[in-house]
Every structure is written in structure tokens, then in C-alpha cells.
Amino acid sequence: MERKKVHDYMTYDVVTITGDGTVKDVIEAIKETGHDGFPVTKERKVVGYISARDLLFAHPSTPVERIMSKHLIVADPDMGINDAARVIFRSGIQKLPVVDENGDLLGIISNTDVIRSQIEHVSPEKVYKFIETLKMLHDIKPGLEREVVPVKNLLPTQSKIYQDELEGRIYEIKKGLAEPIIVVRRPGKLILVDGHHRAVAANRLGIINLDAYVIDIQEDVELGLEKTAREMNLETLDDVKVLDYARHPLVAITHRLVRHG
């Protein structure tokens, strides 16, 4: 059963426009918040949605009800986050108002919220593919268990993580939504393969154990990941550097493209 629900990731403090508002009210709301659209409500009930593009060629005194979208797609707070993702991406709508059974507004879920819920997503397929790679490279027969592992014993194999993703993992752990990490267990070692943001988040929160897919290797082989950790002088999670999101390689590339475009 899917654990991640819309109510775990939606924004509860929603800026709304009243049904008797005008285009001028929407323009002011855009200026104040930077948002590009708002649910339109009457006594907490969602009656429409008004976006910046709806304002094109509209006079400031035009009533919101005249130009708002009345064909609404809304989300239930108990809807699975993956179902919400399908609705958002297939419909092309960036934000879904979240309502209760009476149509009263509870919050809003956006495509950004959905993306945040999927970062560092772990699937069984990901685990099995890694096991197959180990078999091919080292001619071994790894075992697989699902169990909890001590955070302080994890050997990191990634030298840096990013602050924005770390904040997302801290949020998920606090909400009980963190997915399992992937580790390789060799005699005397717990090698962290996947889930560095989650592991560092748990370490910062003082959490003792984390749920994990544990790949057991009894053979006497040194993995490339161990060599990487040694070359980067990584011994504990405290050795992993946390970088500001603005220094993320993808952001840097984007900035270069903008400057030279």
C-alpha cells in the first residue's frame, strides 16, 4: 500500500481569492505572493481557479467569477501521491486544490510538491539491478534482507549532498515517510549505496536506526564503492559536505547557459 499521501505534502496555508473579487484583487495577490494562480472560494468551498493567464486582456474591474476556470480538478487529502502526480502531469495542471467531502478547501498540492516526494525514490527494481551488477562484476551471490541498520555505522560513498534535498528528507523522516536506504553489508562494514540525504538527515535528527535494503556479501571482495570512500577520506556521515542548492551542478550549468545564451 502506498504510504505517501497528498495530505503529507500539500500546502495547508493557501492564498485564495473570494468569489466576489476582481481582476485587480488577483493582480495584487500575484504581486504580494509571487504565485501564478489561486483557488476561488465562497465560504471555504472551492468554486473555481484563477490563473495569471486568465487575466490577459481583462479589465481590472472584471469580476473573477466571469473569467475563472469552473471546470475544476481537485484532490482528496487521502489520495496517493503517485495518483496525484498522474492527474497533474496528464492534465497539464500545475496545482490541485485539496478538498474534503463537503468541497471545503483544505490545502493545495503542486507539481513541485510531487517532485519533492519522488526525490531519492527507491524501488525493488533499483535494488535488484544493483545486485545483478555486483554479480557481474565480482562473480558473487549476494543475499538480500529488509531490516533496520544503525545510522552511526554507515560508511558513506558520496562526498557531498545538497541542502534543499536534505531539508526534504528531514521533513519526510519527521512525518514517518522516509523510504529505505540501500546498503551493502560486508564483514564489519555497512556500506551506504543509496540514500545519503536520508542518512545524513537521520544523523542530524539523532535517529539511531534506519529502514534499509541490506545486500549481504560474505565473499572477500573489496567493492569499488569502498575504494571511492577511501580515496575521498570518508569514514562517517559527518564527513559528507552539505552544499547550498545554488551550487548544485545542474543549477551551475543553467546559469552558464543563461549567461552565454
Which CATH number does the domain 120-251 belong to among 2.40.50.140, 1.10.1740.10, 3.90.1530.10, 1.20.140.90? 3.90.1530.10
Amino acid (1-letter code) at residue 109 = I
Label residues 193-206 b or e (16+ Cβ within 10 Å = b): bbbbbbbbbbbeee
- Other C-beta atoms lying within 10 Å of the C-beta of residue 207: 15
Q: According to the 3-state scheme, what is the secondary structure of the chain? A: CCCCEHHHHCECCCCCEECCCEHHHHHHHHHHHCCCEEEEEECCEEEEEEEHHHHCCCCCCCEHHHHCECCCCCECCCCEHHHHHHHHHHHCCCEEEEECCCCEEEEEEEHHHHHHHHCCCCCHHHHHHHHHHHHHHHCCCCEEEEEEEEHHHEECCCCEEEHHHHHHHHHHHHCCCCCCEEEEEECCEEEEEECHHHHHHHHHCCCCEEEEEEEECCCCCCCHHHHHHHHCCCCCHHHCEEECHHHCHHHHHHHHHHHHC
Do residues 32 and 199 touch, judged by C-beta distance below 8 A?
no
Amino acid 196: pLDDT: 94
Q: What is the pTM of this model?
A: 0.62
User: Could you report the per-residue pLDDT of 154-194, keeping only the tens digit for each?
Assistant: 999 999 988 888 888 898 888 887 789 999 999 989 999 99
Do residues 97 and 39 touch, judged by C-beta distance below 8 A?
yes
CATH T-level assignment (fold) for domain 6-117: CBS-domain (3.10.580)
Amino acid 197: pLDDT: 93
The DSSP bridge partners found for residue 243 are 162
CA torsion sign for 41, 44, 47, 51 is positive
Q: Domain limits of the chain?
A: 6-117, 120-251
* CA–CA distance, 31 with 36 (Å, rounded to integer): 9
Q: Name residues of the chain where pLDDT drops below 70.
A: 1-2, 116, 118-122, 245-261
Q: Which of 146, 136, 162 has its CA nearest to residue 216?
A: 146
Residue partners of 155: CB distance under 8 A and separation at least 6: 189, 190, 191, 192, 226, 229, 234, 235, 236
